[in-house]
């Protein structure tokens, strides 16, 4: 990840450093997807060691290439293309993006989603008070 993207992501992570219970990044993929394989090689291998993973661990969900339905598990979130990344917390979809072009664009999109997670958490705290 380029330094500029890393600084941007670290800033987003600092904003989101509140409670992390329930947040998860759902990664929908197919085994024959070239973009999914590129993501696996460039990002997925290191993701568990990142600050983003501390906030939203990644859950890999393989889908059927024809129907885009999950092969092994029940998931309430639908996808229309792969790869698709869905950030969820407490069974609520916070944000999503589809496609993969580069690691830099992934980290920028992830930073945006983590900012939305922080806004969601702040709104949730406001409703609880």
* Per-residue pLDDT tens digits for 87-109: 999 889 999 999 999 999 999 99
User: Is 65 among the domain residues?
Assistant: yes
pLDDT digits (tens, 9 = 90+) for 59-91: 999 999 999 999 988 888 889 999 999 999 988
Residue 77's domain is classified under what CATH number?
Answer: 3.40.30.10
Q: Is residue 122 part of a domain?
A: yes
CB 16 within 8 A of CB 55: yes
68 inside domain: yes
pTM for this one? 0.81
Domain count for the chain:
1
Range of the domain at 112: 22-128
């Amino acid at each position: 990840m380029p330094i500029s993207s890393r600084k941007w992501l670290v800033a987003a992570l600092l904003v989101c450093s509140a409670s992390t219970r329930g947040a998860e990044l759902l990664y929908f993929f197919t085994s024959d997807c070239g973009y999914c394989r590129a993501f696996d090689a460039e990002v997925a291998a290191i993701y568990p060691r990142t600050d983003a993973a501390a906030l939203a661990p990644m859950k890999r969900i393989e889908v059927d290439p024809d129907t885009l339905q999950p092969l092994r598990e029940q998931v309430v979130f639908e996808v229309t293309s792969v790869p698709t990344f869905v950030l969820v917390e407490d069974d609520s979809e916070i944000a999503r993006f589809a496609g993969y072009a580069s690691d830099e664009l992934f980290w920028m999109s992830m930073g945006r989603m983590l900012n939305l997670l922080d806004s969601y958490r702040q709104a949730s705290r406001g409703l609880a008070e």
